[in-house]
Every structure is written in structure tokens, then in C-alpha cells.
């Protein structure tokens, strides 16, 4: 049985002070809220200050990292630094990173390997653009991202990680994929993992859906066979709203 995982990707939102208020409010709201894993991914600046507050039910994740431990990479943050700051998770290859910061499947692959080397659990994001979906290329695009992103990893590593299917046309648009469409691609990703790493691995790996997830659509999405959680953007910024998603 895969443990559900609900993660909030705050993107470039919240100061340290705002992050601390959010986490203490969320902690109260989700107290005893079942067995789902709850992760918040604040900006880098708020990670370490949030560490103490997230010791209970809430886990901490980062939104990106470099793959090297240290070095002359101005503006970058290393996996070692994230680990020390209290992170257990790290989002890798979000479509905004791919689109605005030139991330490629090759850099995603380097970062995944680095995450495992530093005992961080990666949440690898994949997903197609609207043009790719309309051209009928969703599976080809997602399969390529999965194959190249996971290249050289072991079945044990892949079984322990999280993959987030985030169709780009559904991110921040209010246009959620239908639960059937989202589940179909998540099931396709799982079949791809079976082919690459075997059925033990594909049965264990957790696959999230992301893209305009809200309190109103979370239960239906979570009711689907191949959706094990959600990666939530806009609706993760207000504690009451995110708590409703967590308690779907």
C-alpha cells in the first residue's frame, strides 16, 4: 500500500516570517489528520528557520538544488546544504525550472543522483505542454522525461522516490486535468517504470498529480488507482486551504 503524499510547492512566495506563521497554523489544523505524508516546500531562505517547526507531522522540502556538493556555482544551493537545513525532500525538474532556467533531462538526472547521494527524497516533475497534448504527444514526451531523468538509477532508488505528473497547461491556470486523464498518464508512467525497473519498483513508487489542485477536486483525484498524492501550488499558500487538501 503506497502512503499518500500531499506536498505544497510555494514557488517564490513567503518571507521567513510568513513561512513560520503558515507552518504553525498548518500544524494546528492538521493535528491528527490521518496517515498521509505532508510536505511543504518553501523558498531556500525559509528552510532552516522552518526546520524546528516542521519536526512533527510536516516534512520539509526544497524546490530545486545543484548536483555538486560545493564549488564555484554562484547563486546555487547544494544537496549537502539542503540536508543540513532540515530537508527530507527536494523537487527536481519542475516545468518552471525547465522553461525559465534551462533545465534539461540531463540536469534532472544529475540532480536525482545527487539527491540520493545525500539521502534526500526527490520529487521529479514531468509533464507536457498544451501543444504537445493537442498533437497527441503526451505519452512520448512523458516517457522521454521519465527514461532520461531516471537513467542509471537503481530500482531500489526509484521505488523510494516520488514522481509528479504536472501537465503544464494545468499549472496555475485553474484548468485541472480531468481525474480520468490525470490517472491515465499516471498509470502510463507506472507502466513505463515497470518496463524499466520491474513491477516491484512500479508498485512502490509514488506518483502525484499537480496542476490546479484545490479542496474541491482533491478527493476525486485521490480516488484514482494510480494517483498517490498531489503537488499543490497556489492552493498550498493559505493554511486553511492546504489543510482541507491534506484532509481530503
- Active site members: 94, 166
| Strand-pair category, 58-62 with 5-9 | unpaired
Of the candidates 124, 128, 131, the one whose C-alpha atom is nearest the C-alpha of residue 157 is: 124
By CB under 6 A, residue 166 contacts ligand 13P: yes
Q: Is the dihedral of CA 80, 82, 83, 84 positive or negative?
A: positive
Among 171, 205, 222, 243, binds ligand 13P (CB under 6 A): 171
By CB under 6 A, residue 163 contacts ligand 13P: no
Residue 203 or 238: which CB sits closer to ligand 13P?
Answer: 238
Residue 201 or 235: which CB sits closer to ligand 13P?
Answer: 235
Q: How many CB atoms sit inside 10 A of residue 4's CB?
A: 19
Of the candidates 192, 155, 184, 165, the one whose C-alpha atom is nearest the C-alpha of residue 93 is: 165
Cα–Cα distance between 204 and 246 in angstroms, integer?
Answer: 21
Cα–Cα distance between 170 and 181 in angstroms, integer?
Answer: 12
By CB under 6 A, residue 208 contacts ligand 13P: no
Among 4, 6, 9, 82, binds ligand 13P (CB under 6 A): 9
CB of 105 to ligand 13P, least distance (A): 18
Total site size for ligand 13P, rule CB under 6 A: 14
Residue 86 or 234: which CB sits closer to ligand 13P?
Answer: 234
CB of 210 to ligand 13P, least distance (A): 4
As separate numbers, helices (DSSP H) first and strands (DSSP E) second, the chain gives: 12, 8
Reported for 78-82, long-range contacts at CB under 8 A and 24+ positions apart, including other chains, are 79/114, 79/115, 79/117, 79/118, 79/120, 80/118, 82/47, 82/118, 82/120
Residue 153 or 245: which CB sits closer to ligand 13P?
Answer: 245
Residue 95 or 201: which CB sits closer to ligand 13P?
Answer: 95
By CB under 6 A, residue 162 contacts ligand 13P: no
Q: Tell me the window of 82-90, 131-139, 149-157, 227-235 that interacts with ligand 13P (CB under 6 A).
A: 227-235
CB of 199 to ligand 13P, least distance (A): 28
By CB under 6 A, residue 233 contacts ligand 13P: yes
Give Cα separations from 196 to 9, 59, 200 (angstroms): 28, 30, 11
Q: Give contact residues for ligand 13P (rule: CB under 6 A).
A: 9, 94, 166, 171-172, 210-213, 231-235
Amino acid at each position: 500500500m503506497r502512503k499518500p503524499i500531499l506536498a505544497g510547492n510555494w514557488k517564490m512566495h513567503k518571507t521567513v516570517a510568513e513561512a513560520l506563521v503558515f507552518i504553525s497554523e498548518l500544524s494546528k489544523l492538521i493535528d491528527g489528520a490521518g496517515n498521509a505524508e505532508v510536505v511543504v516546500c518553501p523558498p531556500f531562505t525559509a528552510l532552516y528557520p522552518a526546520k524546528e517547526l516542521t519536526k512533527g507531522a510536516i516534512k520539509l522540502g526544497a524546490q530545486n538544488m545543484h548536483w555538486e556538493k560545493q564549488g564555484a556555482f554562484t547563486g546555487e544551493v547544494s544537496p549537502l546544504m539542503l540536508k543540513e537545513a532540515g530537508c527530507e525532500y527536494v523537487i527536481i525538474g519542475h516545468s518552471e525550472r525547465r522553461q525559465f532556467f534551462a533545465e534539461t533531462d540531463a540536469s534532472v538526472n544529475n540532480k536525482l543522483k545527487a539527491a540520493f547521494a545525500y539521502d534526500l527524497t526527490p520529487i521529479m516533475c514531468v509533464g507536457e505542454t498544451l501543444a504537445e497534448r493537442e498533437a497527441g504527444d503526451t505519452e512520448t514526451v512523458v516517457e522521454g522525461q521519465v527514461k532520461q531523468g531516471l537513467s542509471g538509477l537503481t530500482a531500489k532508488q526509484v521505488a523510494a522516490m516520488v514522481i509528479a505528473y504536472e501537465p503544464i497547461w494545468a499549472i496555475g491556470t485553474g484548468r485541472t486535468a480531468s481525474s480520468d486523464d490525470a490517472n491515465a498518464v499516471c498509470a502510463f508512467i507506472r507502466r513505463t517504470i515497470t518496463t524499466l525497473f520491474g513491477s516491484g519498483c512500479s508498485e512502490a513508487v509514488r506518483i502525484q498529480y499537480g496542476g490546479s489542485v484545490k479542496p474541491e477536486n482533491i478527493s476525486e483525484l485521490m480516488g484514482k488507482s494510480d494517483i498517490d498524492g498531489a503537488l499543490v501550488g497556489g492552493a498550498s499558500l493559505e493554511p486553511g486551504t492546504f489543510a482541507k487538501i491534506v484532509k481530503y
